[in-house]
Structure formats: structure tokens, C-alpha cells
A and B are shown apart, each in its own frame.
Chain A
Amino acid sequence: MTNRILEQTPFLVLAALCLGTALLTDRFLSPVNIGNVMLQASVMAVVAMGMTFVIISGGFDISVGSTVAAAGCTAAAVMLEWGTGAGALAGIAVGCLVGALNGLLVTKLDLNPFIATLGTMVVVRGFTLLLTGGRPITGEEGLPDDFILYGRDRFVGVPWLTWTPILLFVGLWWVLHMSSYGKRLFATGGNREAAYLAGINTDRVRASAYIWCGAMAGVAGVMLAARLQSGQPTSGEFYELMAIAAAVVGGASLYGGEGRLEKTIAGVLIIVVLGNALNLMNVDSYWQRIAIGTVIVAAAAADRWRRGRGN
């Protein structure tokens, strides 16, 4: 019984956080603020969902922040020449490419995921700054109108930028928790040798997780470009840390083999709402970092404690 309640910790924490904030400040539930929270959570949610795939596979990807910037700049640049659709696809393709590179480094060269993606993180950021000259990409008359609308408009009261992770969530949740591929991913992360001995091509599975992650970082890059109405070569910093933190706060195991997509979303919302709450209560932004860091450590500690109890 207690275990079943502990399983729901991320949702309970999120509910308590929302309730507490709503009681402390009436501005929290105002439509404007809720819209803000959703917008802030949207880009992060997409990155964190991709990260969840890699973490479940037993890996780690710290290159996603750089990928977000590279994808956003690529999307903006291509869009100015060939239109919105081509630009968005190009941005996502860049993400897939970086993901494939990470996958190859981790499986074929058997590099430690931390080191391999640290390398791509720096290299991808370097290329982005080099090709843009460090300047934002906006074009002389700005990015195409439909793209700007995507970053600004709403559909049935919800921003398009928020619809994106909602739709992706449905598809990714199915892949992760309902498909045979999902089983292979969990098996590979839970015990790679055992998965291999059960006939699973573990290299392919692991590499695919990095491609999912890169693709999601690509989508997030396009979304961010729409929100900022430009491709920003310095954007996306710390996204990798926030995404990993969200997955961990949501209960994913950094040892691999464990995680739930809906809990990662709860983790994203916990981090965003916490920041928002402190903002509304006029807490110094430096304190916000301290608070979020504390939550991450607390989540990891709670996970250890739960595991220790379980056995």
C-alpha cells in the first residue's frame, strides 16, 4: 500500500506545490500566469521526454542544450530561403543527426555517454556560433508570418507551443509503454548483457534512444525559435541539466531501466512551478536556483531511500 502511494510521489509533490502556491498568492491561478507556466514548461517538456528515452536505455545526453540552439538556428536560416515547413524539418533533422552521432560514439566506439555527449555538446555549440557568427538569425523582414503565429497563437485557449508537447506525449507514451520497441528499451537499460542474451540488438536500441533524444531536442529548438522569433545561437544553455533533473525528479533511474513519461512531465512541471511560485512571491532569482538544486538532490535522495526500503 505505502509502495503504491510512493509510486505517485511526483504527482503528489506537484499537487501539493500547486495547492500551496495557490493559497499563498492569488496570482498563481490567473489565466496570464497559467499561460506563462505552460509556455515555460512546453519547450522543457519536449527536451525532457527525449531525455527520458536515453535515461531509460541506461545512458545520458548532455548535448541537448547545444542541439536546441543548432536546430533553432538551422530552422530559422532554412525557413528564410525555403519556407516554414522546410525550416522546421531541417531543424528536426539537425537534432536527429546529432542524436545519431551520439549513438554511434556511445555504441560503436563504446565511449562513456557523459564524455561522448560532453564532446558533442561543445562541438555542436562551436559550429552553431561559427556559422552564425554569434548573431541571431532573424532575416531582414523577420521569420515567416505563419511561424511567428505558431509561436504566439492559441488554439482553444491553449498556445500552439503547448499543443506540441501534448501531441508528442501521446505518441511517445505509446512508443515507450505500449510497443515492443519500448520493452526492448527498458530491457536494455535494465541489464544490457541479459537483453543481449535474449536476442536484442542492444547497440541498435541504445543508438535509437539517442536519436529520439536528438529529434526531440530538434523539435524543442524549432519551438524556441518560434517563441523568440529568431534563431538564437546562445540559447538552450542548461537545458540538458534541467531535462535530466526533470527525469530524475520524476523518478527515472540514472542506472537505467526505470522511468515513466508522465512522471517526467510531472518533474518538468514541478521545476517550472517552483520557479514560478518563487517569482510570484518576489524571491530573489538567485534563491530560485538554490531551491531547484535542492529539489533535485532531494528527489535523488528520496529515490535512494525508497530503493533501500524496497529490498
Chain B
Amino acid sequence: MASSPALEARDLQKAFGRTQALRGVSLRLWAGQAHGLVGENGAGKSSLLKIITGIYRADSGEILLHGELFAPRGPMAARQAGIALVPQELQVVRGMSVADNVLLGRWPARAGTVRPRALLAEASQALARLGLEIDPRRRMSSLSFAEAQAVVLARELAAGQARILILDEPTASLERAEVDRLFSLLERMRGQGVAVLFVSHRLDEIRVLCDEVTVLRDGSVVAHHARGGFDEAELARDMTGREMGALHAASGRPAGPTTISLPAPGGAVRAHAGRVTGLAGLLGAGTGPLLRRGFSPPGKSIAAGIGYVPSERGRALIPTLSVRDNIVLPHLDAMTAALGRFDARAADASVAELIRRLDVRPPDPSLPARALSGGNQQKIIFARWLMGKFHTLLLDEPTHGIDVAAKRAVLGLVDEFARKGGAVVFASAELHELLALADEIVAMRDGAIQANMTRGPDFTEARLRGALGG
């Protein structure tokens, strides 16, 4: 271990208007070690990353890089100083080749002309350093998300001889095998003396990968553990500040009639009143498109009492519209008075109750939806279907990318909806969620149904994994 940390943040403070995003955060990254950073949405993770990578400047506090004071003037300065960031949303030029992307903006040139052979050679070298077998001549748009992520990793490391690598939710869109591959890549980086800062909502990954972990809550460091000194339950408690019970166990829900049947090769996925049907599948297994087909066209489905939550909030939320308007959107006809007037009073009344019930924060229905955190945005999307007479919900990865507390809240809502006699189809790649919540699980692979299991002795993760081929 080196005498001074590769990077040290001391007592960083940052405020945005009246919101104090960071209240004195300190953090140490050591060369060759992986450091996990966890916290709920809005805990201050993004602000911290943006200060370290030079996008924001801290109000007070300092950063030491290899023991020396470091105040990056911008993202470029941080990059040149050896701090690399792999953001959640990859920044790539899809129309260019892999080689072009690896050396983006630093193409080897002579007299203003790019030297194609040198470009290929340098890019290959950068890819080989990570043990990647991607043809540098391929078009970026032909790559899978995992491959593109690896290319970005190679680029960031090649750009500034990076000594510090920051990954923001890198596994959110990866399949299990790809996560394993990413981890072995990170292992290799650590072997080369790179300090890794790993931000994730997936606490099991933190436990496997990280030498130490820092927990943020409300802009402060509330816990710091070394490897072996923590488990997932403890982290979840640190993050939320309260004891979390076990996931809702599905039990005692009587099965009712089938409300909707979604046909797929190999059978059909059926929703039953009072039941949760789990839909298991890895990325690209076809669960998302199946649910989407079940909600088509949306206007008719809504009239028939079927609600749908897509896997990405960006596809369901209207950021410019207020929280209230986002919630009542599918109910506009019922909210319309004489002459087509929007009945604001009726809308306010029904929304106020939902906001209280779902604990939406801040509880202000007039705020634009974009002002809310991801978990609260997801609650708004749910609130739409809890209003009026909806008997069936089609949920596509509804807990994707939200923090532990919001996840519990969403799972609780699903359970409550079913207990009141509603039918739910719940697609998720997180099998433990399905096993805890669902009455039956349908496993899909390559767009076809592989297996159908109901709660009983065989209702296990091992059997599910076998069916998924993961």
C-alpha cells in the first residue's frame, strides 16, 4: 500500500440553492483497491462524482491527488490528471468505428490527416491492454451495451494514463455473465495499480468486488466498512437509516380469474386477479416486448382497465409537466368538465391522497416531475394506475435503477394491489425479487417461454437459473 492515498477528498461541501447536497464528505481511494460508494437516490453520490471529475467545484473542502492538492478546472483537467469516468449513459459516437471511439479526439495524425494504420494499431493496443477481443474496425453501433461499455473503459484508461477509475452504476444494464466479465476486467486494472471507485445500487456486487465501502446518506458519510466487515442488510440499513424487514412474502392471496393472457412461443403469460405473475428473463429475453404488446394500443388498454409501467422512467414520465398532471394523464377524460375544461379541483383532490399514500417527496403536486429523484418519479408513474378502476398492471422492471427504500415501497405497492384483488405481471431480472413476491414465475429466453413454476418446494433460484440459461 502506498504511503498516501491515490485520491483523498477532505470535508467536501456543496450546496445547490437551498439544498445542501454534500455536508462535509471525506473519502480515500488507494492504488490497486476497489472502493464501493452506495447511497439512496439523492444521497449525494452524483455530486461527489461530479466534484472529483471536475464538473462541479466544491463550496469548501479539498481534494488531494497522490498527496498533492488538486482543484480541476474542468472535466478535461481531471482527465489529464488521470481520473477516468465511465458514466451510466455511455458517451460514444455510434456512426464511427471502435478504433475511432477508443481514441476519440486524439486520433494519430500527420499534417491534419488521420493515419489509419496508426489509429488501428493504437486502438488495438488499448483494447489488448484490457484483454478485450473486439475488432477495432467494427462500427460502434453494432456493439452490445456491454461491449460498448468495455470500449469506453478502454478509451478512458488510454486517454490520460488513468490511475483512478470511476464507474457510475456500470452493471445496471448488464447480464450476469457480462457482470462477471466486467469484474475480471476491473480485477486486472487493480493489478495494474489503478484505484477503482465503484458506484452501485447492487449491494451484493459491492460485497464481492470492493475492498472497502462508503455509505452516503443526505450528503454525509454515515458508514465506512472494510471488506468482510459488512453484509447487504447492514448496508441497506446504513443507507436508509432504518431496519428493513424481509421482502414481502407472497402468501394468503387467493387466486381469481385470468384477466389477461399474453401469448408467446411456448405458451402464454397469464395474469390472475389477486395474484402476482413473475416474468423472469435476462436482458434481451423478450420479456419487455411481450409486456409492451399486451398494452396495445395504450388508449384501448387503459379503457379496459390495464396499466403499464415501462422499464425506463424516461419513457413514461413527462419531465416538463407537474407531478399532478403526470398522475392524472391517463384519466383526463374523467377530469374533463363542461366545454372541455380541465377540472383542476377534482385532480388536486385525487392526487393529494395518492401522494400521501405513496409518500412522494417532496409532497408538492405542482413541482415539475423532473425536479424529483428517480425513486419518487417511479412512484408517480405507479400512482397513475392506482387511481380509478385498474384491475391489471403490466410492470416491466419497475425496480430498475431505484434505491433500496424506493424498491421496498414499489414492491409493497405491488403486493397491496394484488391483495386488493388486482392482477399483476411483474418482469424483473432480479430473481430474488420475483421469488419473494410472485405466486408463479414464467421464465423466458430468446423470446420464448421456457418454464412455468408455481410456489412450492421447487420454487428456487437454482431451478429458475437453469430455465433462464444464465
Which residues on A are within 8 Å of B, measured CB to CB? 175, 178-184, 186-187, 189-191, 193-201, 253, 257-258, 311
Q: Is the CB of A193 within 8 A of B315?
A: yes
CB contact under 8 A between A197 and B321, given known A178-B341, A180-B340, A187-B329: no
Complex: how many Å from CA A201 to CA B315? 16
Complex: how many Å from CA A193 to CA B302? 15
Q: Is the CB of B340 within 8 A of A183?
A: no
Q: Is the CB of A180 within 8 A of B342?
A: yes
Q: Is the CB of B319 within 8 A of A190?
A: yes
Q: Is the CB of B318 within 8 A of A199?
A: no
Instruction: Identify B316's interface contact among A180, A197, A200, A258, CB under 8 A.
Output: A197
User: Which residues on the B side are within 8 Å of A186 (C-beta)?
Assistant: 318, 320-321, 325
User: Which residues on the A side are within 8 Å of B319 (C-beta)?
Assistant: 190-191, 257
The 9 closest A-B pairs by CB, nearest first: A257-B320, A190-B320, A190-B318, A198-B329, A199-B302, A180-B336, A199-B299, A191-B318, A180-B342
CB contact under 8 A between A198 and B342, given known A187-B318, A190-B320, A191-B318: no
Interface string of B328-355 (1 = CB under 8 A from A): 0110110110011110000000000000
Besides A187-B318, A195-B329, A200-B299, 17 other CB < 8 A contacts? A175-B340, A179-B336, A179-B339, A180-B335, A186-B320, A187-B329, A189-B320, A191-B317, A193-B315, A194-B318, A197-B316, A198-B330, A199-B299, A200-B329, A253-B320, A257-B318, A257-B319
Q: Is the CB of B318 within 8 A of A179?
A: no
- Give the most central of B295, B298, B302, B318: most A CB within 10 Å: B318
Q: Is the CB of A197 within 8 A of B318?
A: no
22 of the cross-chain contacts (CB-CB < 8 Å) are A175-B340, A178-B342, A179-B336, A179-B339, A179-B341, A179-B342, A180-B336, A180-B341, A180-B342, A183-B329, A184-B332, A191-B318, A194-B314, A194-B315, A194-B317, A197-B298, A197-B310, A197-B315, A197-B316, A200-B299, A257-B318, A258-B320
Interface string of B383-412 (1 = CB under 8 A from A): 010000000000000000000000000000
Q: Is the CB of A197 within 8 A of B308?
A: yes
Report A309 CB to chain B, min CB distance, Å: 9
CB contact under 8 A between A187 and B321, given known A180-B335, A199-B330: yes
Instruction: Identify B340's interface contact among A181, A194, A195, A197, CB under 8 A.
Output: A181
Complex: how many Å from CA A11 to CA B340? 30
Q: Is the CB of A198 within 8 A of B298?
A: yes
- Give the most central of A178, A186, A194, A198: most B CB within 10 Å: A198
Report A139 CB to chain B, min CB distance, Å: 40
Q: Do most interface residues of chain B lie in helix, strand or loop, or is the interface mixed? A: helix
Q: Which residue of B lies closest to A257 (CB)?
A: B320
Complex: how many Å from CA A198 to CA B301? 10
Which residues on B are within 8 Å of A, measured CB to CB? 295, 298-299, 301-303, 308, 310, 314-321, 325, 329-330, 332-333, 335-336, 339-342, 370, 384
Q: Which residue of A lies closest to B343 (CB)?
A: A180
Q: Is the CB of B325 within 8 A of A183?
A: yes
User: Which residues on the B side are within 8 Å of A311 (C-beta)?
Assistant: 370
Q: Which residue of B lies closest to A192 (CB)?
A: B318
Q: Which residue of A lies closest to B295 (CB)?
A: A197
Q: Which residue of A lies closest to B328 (CB)?
A: A183
Q: Which residue of A lies closest to B313 (CB)?
A: A194
| CB within 8 Å: A-B pair count | 81
Complex: how many Å from CA A190 to CA B318? 6
Complex: how many Å from CA A180 to CA B328? 11
Complex: how many Å from CA A258 to CA B303? 28
User: Which residues on the B side are within 8 Å of A180 (C-beta)?
Assistant: 332-333, 335-336, 340-342
Complex: how many Å from CA A127 to CA B315? 42
Complex: how many Å from CA A311 to CA B50? 13
Q: Is the CB of B321 within 8 A of A257?
A: yes
Report A73 CB to chain B, min CB distance, Å: 34
Q: Which residue of A lies closest to B302 (CB)?
A: A199
Complex: how many Å from CA A175 to CA B333? 15
Complex: how many Å from CA A158 to CA B321? 37
Q: Which residue of B lies closest to A177 (CB)?
A: B342
User: Which residues on the B side are within 8 Å of A193 (C-beta)?
Assistant: 315
Instruction: Identify A201's interface contact among B299, B314, B318, CB under 8 A.
Output: B299
Q: Which residue of A lies closest to B299 (CB)?
A: A199
Report B126 CB to chain A, min CB distance, Å: 33
Report A228 CB to chain B, min CB distance, Å: 36
Report B14 CB to chain A, min CB distance, Å: 14
Complex: how many Å from CA A200 to CA B332? 9
Q: Is the CB of B384 within 8 A of A198?
A: yes
Report A183 CB to chain B, min CB distance, Å: 6
Q: Is the CB of A196 within 8 A of B298?
A: yes
Complex: how many Å from CA A182 to CA B340? 10
Complex: how many Å from CA A187 to CA B329? 8
User: Which residues on the A side are within 8 Å of B370 (C-beta)?
Assistant: 311
User: Which residues on the A side are within 8 Å of B308 (C-beta)?
Assistant: 197
User: Which residues on the A side are within 8 Å of B301 (C-beta)?
Assistant: 199
Complex: how many Å from CA A184 to CA B340? 12
User: Which residues on the A side are within 8 Å of B310 (C-beta)?
Assistant: 197
Report A55 CB to chain B, min CB distance, Å: 13
- Give the most central of A178, A193, A199, A258: most B CB within 10 Å: A199
Q: Which residue of A lies closest to B381 (CB)?
A: A194
Q: Which residue of A lies closest to B333 (CB)?
A: A180
User: Which residues on the B side are within 8 Å of A195 (C-beta)?
Assistant: 318, 329
CB contact under 8 A between A182 and B342, given known A190-B318, A195-B329, A197-B298: yes
- Give the most central of B298, B301, B303: most A CB within 10 Å: B298
User: Which residues on the A side are within 8 Å of B299 (C-beta)?
Assistant: 199-201
Report A88 CB to chain B, min CB distance, Å: 25
Complex: how many Å from CA A175 to CA B308? 29
User: Which residues on the A side are within 8 Å of B335 (C-beta)?
Assistant: 180
Report B276 CB to chain A, min CB distance, Å: 22
Q: Which residue of B lies closest to A201 (CB)?
A: B299
User: Which residues on the A side are within 8 Å of B303 (C-beta)?
Assistant: 199
Report A9 CB to chain B, min CB distance, Å: 17
Complex: how many Å from CA A275 to CA B270? 67
User: Which residues on the B side are within 8 Å of A182 (C-beta)?
Assistant: 342
User: Which residues on the A side are within 8 Å of B316 (C-beta)?
Assistant: 194, 197-198
Complex: how many Å from CA A154 to CA B298? 51
Report A126 CB to chain B, min CB distance, Å: 36
Report B297 CB to chain A, min CB distance, Å: 9
User: Which residues on the A side are within 8 Å of B332 (C-beta)?
Assistant: 180, 183-184, 200
User: Which residues on the B side are within 8 Å of A181 (C-beta)?
Assistant: 340
Complex: how many Å from CA A200 to CA B317? 13
Complex: how many Å from CA A180 to CA B341? 6
Report B392 CB to chain A, min CB distance, Å: 15
Complex: how many Å from CA A311 to CA B310? 24
Q: Which residue of B lies closest to A196 (CB)?
A: B298
Report A21 CB to chain B, min CB distance, Å: 34
User: Which residues on the B side are within 8 Å of A183 (C-beta)?
Assistant: 321, 325, 329, 332, 342
Report A197 CB to chain B, min CB distance, Å: 5
User: Which residues on the A side are within 8 Å of B295 (C-beta)?
Assistant: 197
Q: Which residue of B lies closest to A181 (CB)?
A: B340
